[in-house]
Structure 1
Amino acid sequence: MSKKAVVIGAGPAGLTAAYEFLTRADEGPEPVVPQVFEGSSDIGGISKTVNFKGNRIDIGGHRFFSKSDTVMEWWLNILPPEKTGGETFTLKYQGKSRPFEGDADGVDPETTDDVMLVRSRLSRIYYLRSFFNYPITLEWSTMKNLGLWRLTKIGFSYIRARLIPLKEVSLEEFYINRFGRELYDTFFKSYTEKVWGVPVSDIEPDWGAQRVKGLSISKTLAHAVKKTFSRNKPKDIAQKDVETSLIESFLYPKLGPGYLWEKVAERVEEKGGSIAMEHSVVGLHADGNRIVAADVRDNKTGELSRVEGDYFISTMPVKDLIASIQDVDVPSNVSDVAAALPYRDFITVGLVVKKLSIPGAVDRDGVAGRVPDNWIYIQEPDVLVGRLQVFNNWSPYMVNDPDTVWVGMEYFVQEGDHLWNMADDDLIAFGVSELAKIGIIDQADFLEGTVLRVEKTYPAYFGAYRRFDEVRSFVDGFENLFLVGRNGMHRYNNQDHSMLTAIEAVNNILTGRTDKSNIWDVNVEQEYHEEKSE
């Protein structure tokens, strides 16, 4: 005898749940067989990898590191790490520290695509037509670019913030308390508003607790000192004692994150699960405090079918989930809050260029006309682009022609706004002109480009989100319905934490646990738990 789990969505959370059911079949009273329904034609959700003429796009960038031992082993079980020329890394998981000898334990990326590359992280801020380290460090280049007067104001502002902290009623106070008002005004305010499209004072401080965590000037300085005195020590890819924004090394699939999730999908089907692509769950039927069936639409034919199940795991946007529930009365306050939950949408403009035109730019190998960065945060107020990815530095295998530079311009938008509705060719031309305007490329060096639009990329922490607890209370009342993942929980999770929510949901099902607080307690790091301000 076996039970059936209907899994909505084939992103990291949905596929993790499906894979966990199949690999842990002997842990519960009976096996649970997953049936996954994915509305799109792509595996991986926003962790998919899009191929444009051999150039691969990673949507938003996905560094593979985690402070969760479970997740680190999970990833490496799917894709082993590469040979590293004899360099030793220390992998920490399952409560143990294990040295990893790159040549003895690794695989050669030249002979297989099933491999994790070991990558160095570098992100910088581009502001005042100059580069600043991200996070900000008090190095000579920083002080030179900021100037003595601005630097002095930053110092006194930070001291004031530490001595007289503000009550944190919004994200604005959260930032000021950790960095001081002057540094906040210089590096945080305009970029945050570019990302979210609303004043920082309108955003709940929960977002800071989720994404910025304990990072502050003092943590940044402490990290710099520690780094200085530990340059010759073996690297720890898990980096459990490092704030996420300070991570220096990470694992990365040779062909992008989507490749890993495609391999997971293959294993799910090999082990007896099923994945139906281009099939959307459009209705959920309830009987008392249980969900008993789902209405599934074949997006190719429009045909509807009813799929019964014992458990339902949802990664679909919360507003769509609530709207889909049938056969029970959804309280008006719950439906109103869910319908009004805000999201931020995302556009990547991929550009293939001959070279970058930033004066003095060289990459990690000393090649001119390139930069060593994974991300460049564009703080310039005279352009709309928010961030720039350099895919060459995520993985050289993601670039079709190694003599070109493959970049992704990231725009944070609202579905239906003027950028979202702009024709692809016009948007590519607009992106080229923006990078040329701020001195990153010469328009004559542009070769070709593409546009990728993604809806509901970022669940937002303002507006109706303030009443999200009302929605959570309602859905938690269905004993066999489990919300997991970023959109499934309306929480700005990293990839590994989306996976952990799915693992906790499977744990509950296999052990018969009815309380779902452990799922909601998974936060940005295992040791950090989000507590909404009352």
Structure 2
Amino acid sequence: MKKIVIIGGGPAGLTAAYELLKDTKDEFEVTILEESEVLGGISQTVRYHGNRMDIGGHRFFSKDDTVMKWWSDLMPIQGKPAYDDQKLGREKPLVSGGPDPEKEDVVMLVRDRVSRIYYNHCFFDYPVSLKKETIKNMGFATTMRAGFSYLGSCISKKPETNLENFYINRFGKVLYSMFFEGYTEKLWGRHPSEISADWGAQRVKGLSIRAVIKDMFSKAFGKKNNENAETSLIEQFWYPKYGPGQLWELVGEKVQEKGGQILYHHTVKTIRTENGKIQSVVCETPEGTKEITGDIFISSMPIKNLVAGLEGCADSEIQRIAAGLPYRDFVTVGLLVNKLELVNETDKKTLGNIVPDCWIYVQDKGVKLGRIQIFNNWSPYMVEKPEDTVWIGLEYFCAEGDEFWNMSDEECIDFATKELVKMGVIQEGTVLDSHREKVKKAYPAYFDTYAQFDQVVAYLDTYENLFCVGRNGQHRYNNMDHSMLTAIHAADAIKHNSTDKSAVWNVNQEKEYHEQKQS
């Protein structure tokens, strides 16, 4: 029996464990080492005073059928309306025989995707759409400048040596300055001109003004199909009744039912090697130091920490590159309020007639706030009293150890509340409850030594029994489905006794994956 050690109990680590155990019998002994007390990583659901927070927001949608089936096999799609849909008479595509979310908990809801930009006290569609509300909010003069700017970007393309040029080539300089520049700098703490275009290629995919126009005409002529849309243009997605952590907790239970072991509060500090293979990992635990041996190791820990812990790494250049890999850390402030001052001027019905957005991207450069989540709209079951209160998450990007990160809970909540009042989103004195969550290394970044990252990949691949998976395990700003696919490919290689890591590293790299649904 092969002993598999998996570092990290996030989506990638849990997916790998489940894939190795679900169809095999007595072939693998699987152990997951998780440094915290919860599963799901950044995809966890935080419970607080009867309300739930989704850290970072997780839409369950993939262009890969394997992942969609993986999710729905574990959590069937709803067969009856959810609480808010029932109350409001909203229609959703229901699955015959599917569970009733009012009676059962293990159920995927079908939710409407509404994400908008809040800029200059006005709402704009995200991504920007071409309709009369957009022109009205921008003003005729700005609209004309944006149009000519876009035409200019079509005629004269900039070399895509950085993220700024990547955006300008697709949207023109005016729209880039309005809707991308400020938010991107908040997210990364660097101006887009200092960031590799790789980030845009992975996250924005094929989105551009051309894609927006194509999408607009498709809708005008009745062609509305999520399967052929860019990921940023989908109109509905799946969502677990109690948030993403509910699914990953369920996967953890399945792993344990099939004989897998999950060890919490196990922080990997040292990776011991011999003859080009990983032999064991040394963990810090509440009971002291523990060494765990294995035949094959799957790592979703940050590459920076992995290389720093490799006892066999004598290559100073690899150590330098890995040590210089940058990350952005993340803080979410949850606020419970009676109401928002934002007015729902859409045609979408909501409980309490709140704005229908899942996310609101804050482009205002006068505040540090990056995004606002409205948990009521992700799932009514995330909020204890969804008709009477609004439970929101304020998302901030920072660096571990900086002034914002080091604020006390009270200072941070007060700071976030004052920004919302300044923006006119809430009135002063209306916060009923609050909570703060901090996440280290939430976003692998694309600057500093990242330009030499391929050297680190080549080096890590020399350890034939090591597979690097997930967002931090590959230092790639992957979506949840991409992280899962890296783990699925790693598990498949292990089951076939293969040491070829190419499929694992190639997830979310092929241009075709971004632009077409795989058949």
- Same fold, TM-score > 0.5, yes or no: yes
Residue 419 of structure 1 deviates from its aligned partner by: 1.1
Q: Which amino acid aligns with 1:38?
A: E
Aligned residue for 2:116, secondary structure, equals strand
Change (3 A) 1:214 1:461: same
Gaps of 5+ in 2: 83-91
Q: Which amino acid aligns with 1:352?
A: L
| Alignment of structure 1 residues 19-30 onto 2, 5 Å | 19-25=18-24
> Which of 20, 32, 35 is equivalent to 1:36?
32
What is the aligned partner in structure 2 of residue 377 from structure 1? Answer: 361
Aligned residue for 1:382, secondary structure, equals coil
Q: Which amino acid aligns with 2:233?
A: L
| Alignment of structure 1 residues 41-60 onto 2, 5 Å | 41-60=37-56
Give structure 1 regions of 4+ aligned residues with deviation exceeding 4 angstroms. 359-363, 366-369
Q: Does 1:255 align with 2:242?
A: yes
Aligned residue for 1:143, secondary structure, equals helix
| Alignment of structure 1 residues 130-149 onto 2, 5 Å | 130-149=122-141
Q: Does 1:189 align with 2:181?
A: yes
Residue 55 of structure 1 deviates from its aligned partner by: 0.8
Indicate conservation of the 8 Å contact 1:82/1:118, yes or no: yes
Gaps of 5+ in 1: 87-99
What is the aligned partner in structure 2 of residue 210 from structure 1? Answer: 202
What is the aligned partner in structure 1 of residue 349 from structure 2? Answer: 365
| Alignment of structure 1 residues 44-443 onto 2, 5 Å | 44-84=40-80, 102=94, 104-230=96-222, 239-298=226-285, 300-301=286-287, 303-326=288-311, 328-359=312-343, 364-365=348-349, 370-402=354-386, 403-443=388-428
2 CA distance for matches of 1:499 and 1:366? 32
What is the aligned partner in structure 2 of residue 444 from structure 1? Answer: 429
1 CA distance for matches of 2:151 and 2:62? 33
Aligned residue for 1:172, secondary structure, equals helix
Residue 156 of structure 1 deviates from its aligned partner by: 0.8
1 CA distance for matches of 2:436 and 2:252? 26
| Alignment of structure 1 residues 478-489 onto 2, 5 Å | 478-489=463-474
2 CA distance for matches of 1:173 and 1:103? 44
Q: Does 1:501 align with 2:469?
A: no
Change (3 A) 1:104 1:173: same
* Deviation per residue, 1:121-166 (Å, 9 max, x gap): 0000000101011110111110011111111111111111111111
Residue 225 of structure 1 deviates from its aligned partner by: 1.6
Change (3 A) 1:525 1:81: farther
Indicate conservation of the 8 Å contact 1:22/1:271, yes or no: yes
Indicate conservation of the 8 Å contact 1:362/1:368, yes or no: no
Aligned residue for 1:319, secondary structure, equals helix
Indicate conservation of the 8 Å contact 1:85/1:103, yes or no: no
What is the aligned partner in structure 1 of residue 13 from structure 2? Answer: 14
Q: TM-score, normalised by structure 2?
A: 0.94
Residue 317 of structure 1 deviates from its aligned partner by: 0.4
Residue 296 of structure 1 deviates from its aligned partner by: 2.1
Indicate conservation of the 8 Å contact 2:77/2:107, yes or no: yes
Q: Which amino acid aligns with 2:19?
A: E
2 CA distance for matches of 1:161 and 1:172? 12
Residue 386 of structure 1 deviates from its aligned partner by: 0.6
Change (3 A) 1:67 1:360: closer
Residue 230 of structure 1 deviates from its aligned partner by: 2.6
Indicate conservation of the 8 Å contact 1:504/1:519, yes or no: yes
Q: Which amino acid aligns with 2:363?
A: Q
Aligned residue for 1:491, secondary structure, equals coil
Q: TM-score, normalised by structure 1?
A: 0.92
2 CA distance for matches of 1:43 and 1:255? 14
2 CA distance for matches of 1:491 and 1:161? 28
Indicate conservation of the 8 Å contact 2:110/2:236, yes or no: yes
Aligned residue for 1:358, secondary structure, equals coil
Q: Which amino acid aligns with 2:4?
A: A
- Percentage of pairs with the same residue: 51
What is the aligned partner in structure 2 of residue 89 from structure 1? Answer: none
Indicate conservation of the 8 Å contact 2:344/2:354, yes or no: no
Q: Which amino acid aligns with 1:289?
A: G
Change (3 A) 1:400 1:366: closer
Residue 360 of structure 1 deviates from its aligned partner by: 5.3
* Deviation per residue, 1:261-312 (Å, 9 max, x gap): 00000000000110001111211111121111111221x22x1122111100
Change (3 A) 1:56 1:368: closer
Number of paired residues?
A: 505
2 CA distance for matches of 1:136 and 1:514? 44
CA-atom RMSD in angstroms: 1.9
1 CA distance for matches of 2:348 and 2:380? 12
